[in-house]
Each structure stands twice: as structure tokens, then as C-alpha cells.
């Protein structure tokens, strides 16, 4: 029996040491009790030294600062983290690391400690940076000729070089429409680049939510009519002023409304609402990092569209991601619109989440902070 246990332990240790990911196990008192060879290689610290340190001593020796206390959260609430390996990306000089923490439990559910899994993602981060720079450069080069195409096409349609017959005007209008579509895609790509490089410049000011929402709804009347959608705009009375960048907020609302219009079958209903919301009514996952002393307004866009599967509801905010549904081909698009929404809102102190039921529709709700008193 003892020999069998020794063999099993030896096999488990061999597997642990062969992993390419760093594995560090902490006891409930936050001290390190086990580390593998990959941890030694990635963190550039001998295993003998690692096992003499606590979690906090390890972070201090590596000059790493983490948001909050992730180990404390796992040890205090293991049930909330069992199976949840949400990664945290951290910078350590030129090195980028992705780490996640999960509880270590016995078969009876007793807490033994926590396990840190770390991966060196320096190459991936650098590759993504180069890709972002390339997209930004190409987008800049494309925007100038597309703007010229749009401008000259509009001049031709206006008859600047002679009378234009109805067929010619129809063709020129089609060219203009598609040029505008290409320019919009290019602008989205440029915005993605700015967000990822941290170069977005906001111009925050006090603003009326009614003015922003009314302007966006009005600019979409034609498309709403073409798809025979019914749109209702409902605002709570006496809403306080918002604080944020008006142009960026319009962009956020436009992208969400465009998504609702595209993915709602013809003749659907869309409702845009705004109301003041208590911090406690914001989902717990979205409240993190929000000041406790601020007031917020919640803006929601509800549709009677095809809905979003639960496993896709968080992925829709990823770049280029598009849900699998019958309207995907008809809707078109690049999957960039919603990927811009979350980071722009985060920059303005807002949050966004989605609730959805298949074949019944979706509700995108986002918050914006109320303007401070003058």
C-alpha cells in the first residue's frame, strides 16, 4: 500500500515538473508549499528559494502589484472560484505574465490552499502589439483615398460635371453608401488601435442624456423604417446630467442600437430607456472599481431579436466576434462595434452587461456616472 502511494506521488510529481506552465501551491496561511520547474524558469527564482516565501513576499521580490488580493479572495470564497480561472495579465519589465488562481480542495470539499498557474505570454503580447500597429498604419493609409472617393462621388451625383441621369445617380449613390461603410469600418479599426495603445483622448463634459439619445435615434430613423422596426424612447423625468465625452457616448449608443437593428427580424420592437440606478442594482461583476460615492444613470437598449446564447454573452464584446445566428449573413458587419463599447465605457467610468433569451431578444444595459455638482 505504502509503495503504491509512493509510486502515485512520484508520477504526480513527474507530471507537475513536466508542465510548461508555472505551478505554485499555497497553503491556507499564504505560504508556498510547492513549485514546479516551470515556475523556477519563468520567475527566475530557484525552487528552494520559492518554497521559503509567502504569496506577499513573492510579489514583493518580483516587484509585482496585483489589483486587490486575488489569493485572499480565493481562500475566503473557494466556492466562487472553483473552476473559475479568470486570468490576470501583469507586466514584469519586458516580460508579460498571465496568472490565475484556483482553490485546492479535497474530495470532501475541504480547503487545503490555492494553486497559482502562470504562463509567460511575452511573445503573444508583442505579436498583438505589432498587429495593432499594423492595423493602425493600414487604416490611416486607407482612410485618405476612401474619403476622396466619397467626396468626388458626391460631387458627380450633384451634377458638378454635367447632368446625371437617374441610373447614373443610383449607381453613384451606391458608391457613396459603400464608401461611407468602408470609412466607418476604418474609423472603428483606428479606434481599436487607440484603445489598445492607450491613446484615446476624451473630452469629458456635462451633458443631457435626452439630447444624446434623441440625436442617435433620429439619425437611425431611415434604417428603422426600412426594416419596419418600431422604436420607443422612454426617459425617466428629471434625470441628472451625465459626465463623459459626448461624442464617445453617442458612438457607444450608436453601436448598441445598430446591433439591435441588425439582429432583430423585420418588424421588431426596440426600446431605449434611461433611469437613475443605485450602485447596488449594478451586477456585482460590473461594480468592481466603481466609486461608492457616485450616482449613475442606466441606459438600456432592448430588442425582440434572435437573442444570444449564454456562452456567447461575454464573447460578443471581443474583437471581430460575431454570434452564430440566422441573421448573421444578412446583418453583415465586422464584429468591431460592440468590441469598442466596453473599453470606451470603462474609460468614462461606465459599465455594460447584457441579458438575453434565445428567440426572445436581448437587453444591453450600460451605466454612466452622473456629473459632479458645480
Predicted confidence (pLDDT) per residue in 339-360, tens digit = 889 999 999 999 999 999 888 8
Last residue of a domain, one of 144, 172, 196: 196
Beta-strand runs (E) in the chain:
22-27, 32-35, 88-92, 95-105, 111-120, 205-207, 230-235, 242-244, 269-277, 296-303, 351-357, 361-369
Q: Under a CB-based contact definition with an 8 Å cutoff, are residues 85 and 100 in contact?
A: yes
Task: Residue 185: give its domain's CATH number.
Answer: 1.10.287
Spatial CA neighbour of 145 closest among 176, 107, 114, 183: 183
Low-confidence ranges of the chain (pLDDT < 70): 1-9, 80-86, 320, 322-335
Whether residue 216 is found in the same domain as residue 334: yes
Last residue of a domain, one of 97, 120, 143: 120
Rg (CA), the chain: 26
Whether residue 99 is found in the same domain as residue 241: no
**Residue 310 is part of which domain span?**
205-369
Q: Under a CB-based contact definition with an 8 Å cutoff, are residues 307 and 360 in contact?
A: yes
Q: Please report the pLDDT score of residue 247 as a whole number.
A: 93
Residue 293 lies in a domain: yes
Q: Please report the pLDDT score of residue 240 as a whole number.
A: 95
| CA–CA separation, 186 and 199 (whole Å) | 17
Q: Please report the pLDDT score of residue 9 as a whole number.
A: 65
Whether residue 181 is found in the same domain as residue 288: no
Residue 141 lies in a domain: yes
| CA–CA separation, 42 and 99 (whole Å) | 12
Residue 57 lies in a domain: yes
Q: Please report the pLDDT score of residue 329 as a whole number.
A: 42
Residue 351 lies in a domain: yes
Residue 338 lies in a domain: yes
Residue 106 lies in a domain: yes
Half-sphere exposure of 59 (CA within 13 A, CB side): 15
Whether residue 77 is found in the same domain as residue 23: yes
Partnered with residue 303 across adjacent β-strands are 270
Whether residue 170 is found in the same domain as residue 244: no
Whether residue 177 is found in the same domain as residue 273: no
Task: Residue 362: give its domain's CATH number.
Answer: 3.30.565.10
Statement: the pTM of the whole predicted model exceeds 0.85: no
CA dihedral 178, 179, 182, 186 (to 10 degrees): -160
Q: Is 255 helix (H, G, I), strand (E, B) or coil?
A: helix
Q: Please report the pLDDT score of residue 355 as a whole number.
A: 92
How many independent structural domains does the chain possess?
Answer: 3
| CA–CA separation, 232 and 230 (whole Å) | 7
Whether residue 170 is found in the same domain as residue 239: no
**Helix (H), strand (E) counts: the chain:** 14, 12
Whether residue 109 is found in the same domain as residue 252: no
Task: Residue 97: give its domain's CATH number.
Answer: 3.30.450.20
Partnered with residue 369 across adjacent β-strands are 296
Whether residue 215 is found in the same domain as residue 364: yes
Whether residue 241 is found in the same domain as residue 306: yes
Q: Is 361 helix (H, G, I), strand (E, B) or coil?
A: strand
Half-sphere exposure of 138 (CA within 13 A, CB side): 11
Q: Under a CB-based contact definition with an 8 Å cutoff, are residues 270 and 257 in contact?
A: yes
Q: Please report the pLDDT score of residue 84 as a whole number.
A: 52
Whether residue 83 is found in the same domain as residue 50: yes
Whether residue 101 is found in the same domain as residue 224: no
Residue 374 lies in a domain: no
Q: Which residues contact 19 (CB under 8 A, 6 or more apart)?
A: 36, 38
Spatial CA neighbour of 357 closest among 303, 302, 311, 308: 308
Amino acid at each position: 500500500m505504502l509503495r503504491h502511494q509512493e509510486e502515485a506521488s512520484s508520477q504526480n510529481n513527474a507530471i507537475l515538473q513536466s508542465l510548461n506552465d508555472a505551478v505554485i501551491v499555497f497553503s491556507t496561511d499564504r505560504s508556498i508549499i510547492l513549485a514546479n520547474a516551470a515556475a523556477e524558469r519563468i520567475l527566475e527564482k530557484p525552487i528552494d528559494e520559492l518554497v521559503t516565501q509567502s504569496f506577499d513576499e513573492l510579489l514583493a521580490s518580483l516587484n509585482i502589484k496585483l489589483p486587490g488580493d486575488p489569493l485572499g479572495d480565493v481562500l475566503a470564497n473557494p466556492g466562487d472560484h472553483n473552476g473559475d480561472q479568470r486570468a490576470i495579465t501583469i507586466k514584469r519589465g519586458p516580460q508579460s505574465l498571465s496568472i490565475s488562481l484556483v482553490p485546492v480542495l479535497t474530495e470532501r470539499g475541504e480547503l487545503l490552499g490555492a494553486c497559482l498557474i502562470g504562463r509567460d505570454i511575452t511573445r503573444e503580447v508583442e505579436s498583438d502589439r505589432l498587429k495593432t500597429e499594423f492595423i493602425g498604419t493600414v487604416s490611416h493609409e486607407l482612410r485618405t483615398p476612401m474619403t476622396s472617393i466619397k467626396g468626388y462621388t458626391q460631387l458627380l451625383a450633384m451634377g458638378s460635371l454635367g447632368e446625371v441621369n437617374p441610373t447614373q445617380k443610383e449607381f453613384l449613390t451606391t458608391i457613396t453608401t459603400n464608401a461611407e461603410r468602408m470609412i466607418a469600418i476604418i474609423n472603428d479599426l483606428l479606434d481599436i488601435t487607440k484603445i489598445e495603445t492607450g491613446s484615446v483622448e476624451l473630452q469629458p463634459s456635462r451633458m443631457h442624456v435626452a439630447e444624446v439619445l434623441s440625436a442617435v435615434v433620429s439619425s437611425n430613423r431611415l434604417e428603422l423604417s426600412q426594416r419596419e422596426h418600431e422604436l420607443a424612447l422612454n426617459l425617466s423625468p428629471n434625470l441628472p446630467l451625465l459626465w463623459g465625452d459626448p461624442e464617445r457616448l453617442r458612438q457607444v449608443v450608436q453601436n448598441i442600437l445598430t446591433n439591435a437593428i441588425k439582429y432583430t427580424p423585420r418588424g421588431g420592437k426596440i426600446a431605449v430607456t434611461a433611469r437613475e440606478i443605485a450602485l447596488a442594482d449594478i451586477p456585482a461583476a460590473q461594480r468592481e472599481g466603481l466609486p461608492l460615492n457616485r450616482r449613475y444613470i442606466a441606459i438600456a437598449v432592448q430588442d425582440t431579436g434572435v437573442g444570444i446564447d449564454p456562452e456567447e454573452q461575454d464573447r460578443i464584446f471581443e474583437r471581430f466576434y460575431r454570434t452564430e445566428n440566422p441573421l448573421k449573413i444578412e446583418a453583415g458587419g465586422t464584429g468591431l462595434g460592440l468590441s469598442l463599447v466596453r473599453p470606451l465605457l470603462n474609460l468614462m467610468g461606465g459599465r455594460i452587461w447584457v441579458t438575453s433569451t434565445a428567440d426572445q431578444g436581448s437587453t444591453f444595459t450600460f451605466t454612466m456616472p452622473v456629473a459632479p455638482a458645480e
